[in-house]
Chain A
Amino acid sequence: MERRGAPVTAYTKIDDKKIRIKSSIYEPDFVIVMDQSLIKAVNVVAGLKDGGKVLVNTTKPPGELGFEPDITIYAVDATGIAINNRLGSKAAPIVNSAILGGFVKMSGIVSLDSLIESVKKNVPVKQEENAQAARDAYEGVV
């Protein structure tokens, strides 16, 4: 918390059963890249499963991001959407709700309605703006 903004890798595991394995994920079904500059810093598709999908926060179309053609890439301008919905500042926009909208569209693991309900319940401030950002990103994924 002392160094907000440093690049980090985080993992999410989803299961109906209790999750007991507490190690990192090496073969993801999905990868979310929160900032396109990270594509040059690390191999974000390392270990991606066959049929896996990648979502990138970028203004570029998926084909211009430099990935191999056999990898399924989705792109969404989560930064622009966050700024439009006045989440965070222009210099440091808060893209979390927007990127979740894009992820729900890409993965289909939950409905948009379920995401909107969760955002409104769990985001501490600007619930409507966050919900709108999720909706905009859901619609805006290419």
Chain B
Amino acid sequence: MVKMVISGNSASAYGSKLARAEVIAAYPITPQTSIIEKIASLVANGEFETQFVKVESEHSAMAACISASLTGARTYTASSSHGLLLMHEMLIWASGARTPVVMSNINRANGPPWSVWADQHDTMAQRDTGWMQIYCESNQEVLDSILMAYKVGESRDIMLPSMIIEDAFILSHTVEPVDMPDQSAVDDFLPAYDPEMKLDVDDPHGFGSLVMPEWYMEFRYKIAEAMDKTRDKLRDVQKDFESRFGRSYGGLMEFYECEDAEAVLVISGSVASTAKEVVDRMRSAGKKVGLARLRYFRPFPVDEVRWLAKNVNCIGIVDRSYCFGHGGPMAAEIYGALMPVADKPIVKNFIAGLGGRDLTPEVLERLYENMLAIRSGGVDMEIEWVDVKDGRGG
């Protein structure tokens, strides 16, 4: 193992290399471009043996990954924002065809107005594509999550694709120390992809054919079943990873100082890292606050949310995107998961940090103070657009 000081994008490229991805098809888009540049240079230097395919669009990138995956190859791609939106049709195809493609997506705002900065709208809009979604907090988690995603997705009882998600610039372009595991240790953890069925000229099969109405539902049900199984599977894979590499990330939802908390914020992505610092500061000032870091948006951590609601009666959800006509996407899912809980907690949805607006410790501390006030004084508003210059809140 060596320690390297690298960006999230570099960690992504090394993750694909350590996983021995056999086919990589990608198209550049800011701020994902340096993943592709790094892979291209690793290939050019002879450090990484892979089929690196330059394609004409993100739609083609995903089509190439799906096709390669159907032949039994381990595949990887990366995109962001409008690139991911262009992939949307093929994302649904990837899960329908049961191809365990792994991709990195750099969370970047959608235009217009044009923006290249952090915002989760691009990935939240892919909620129903049948992909696992893992929101990362550090560059180390980016690298480790790629390795674990192949292991989970390629299990024969799963066979589903995964999206590893990092915030634009805050992770993608910020260099941090990253432990680079030995290739031999990764090879032991992650053997070669070996699907039950694949495209083979000597043993022809059809994939993605037409089915009549009497069988379509059964195919969809199989996906639903597999996605539900991923919850236990990814917990097992994380335990295995921890026993080999000594790092763990807390399953679908990581709880930080939640046990005795009077107020908790639910946050995903790199902002959760800043929030941990805020929790420590506030705890040392005698304020019982905690953080629930949502790592997986799909599969959704239903049991974890219900556990949280049984332990904490005041929960704020910080969404870095907005679902127009309703609310924050994380909040909507959490409220849904809370339905069967008898004693429902006080909840509030914060919309914050869209288009890369900085979420500082001071902003987060203010949200915690707001939740503590709500706990005794009642909810001031259901949805607050934090520090928005016109309209509600702030």
A residues with a Cβ closer than 8 A to B are 1-2, 19-24, 26
Give the chain A neighbours of B274 by CB distance below 8 A. 20-23
Give the chain A neighbours of B273 by CB distance below 8 A. 20-22
Please name 14 pairs of A and B residues whose Cβ atoms are closer than 8 Å in the assembled complex, sorted by A.
A1-B28, A1-B30, A1-B34, A1-B37, A21-B273, A21-B277, A22-B170, A22-B174, A22-B273, A22-B274, A23-B274, A23-B358, A23-B360, A24-B358
Shortest beta-carbon distance, A125 to chain B, in Å? 13
With both beta carbons as reference points, the residue of chain A lying nearest to B37 in the complex is identified as A1
With both beta carbons as reference points, the residue of chain B lying nearest to A23 in the complex is identified as B360
> Which of A1, A20, A24 has a CB less than 8 Å from the CB of B276?
A20
Q: Mark B358-383, 1 if CB is under 8 A from A, else 0.
A: 11110000000000000000000000
A23 and B174 CA atoms in complex are apart in Å by 11
In contact, B270 and A22 (Cβ under 8 angstroms):
yes
A26 and B218 CA atoms in complex are apart in Å by 56
B residues with a Cβ closer than 8 A to A are 28, 30, 33-34, 37, 170-171, 174, 176, 270-271, 273-274, 276-277, 358-361
Give the chain A neighbours of B176 by CB distance below 8 A. 19
Give the chain A neighbours of B28 by CB distance below 8 A. 1-2
Give the chain A neighbours of B171 by CB distance below 8 A. 22
A113 and B388 CA atoms in complex are apart in Å by 49
Given contacts A2-B28, A22-B273, 10 further A-B contacts (CB under 8 A): A1-B34, A2-B30, A21-B277, A21-B361, A22-B170, A22-B171, A22-B174, A22-B271, A23-B274, A23-B361
Shortest beta-carbon distance, A20 to chain B, in Å? 5
With both beta carbons as reference points, the residue of chain B lying nearest to A3 in the complex is identified as B30
In contact, B277 and A1 (Cβ under 8 angstroms):
no
> Which of A2, A20, A24 has a CB less than 8 Å from the CB of B277?
A20
Give the chain B neighbours of A23 by CB distance below 8 A. 274, 358-361
Give the chain A neighbours of B360 by CB distance below 8 A. 23-24, 26
Shortest beta-carbon distance, B186 to chain A, in Å? 24
With both beta carbons as reference points, the residue of chain A lying nearest to B364 in the complex is identified as A23
Give the chain A neighbours of B37 by CB distance below 8 A. 1
A1 and B30 CA atoms in complex are apart in Å by 7
Shortest beta-carbon distance, A1 to chain B, in Å? 5
Shortest beta-carbon distance, B34 to chain A, in Å? 6
Give the chain B neighbours of A26 by CB distance below 8 A. 360
Give the chain A neighbours of B271 by CB distance below 8 A. 22
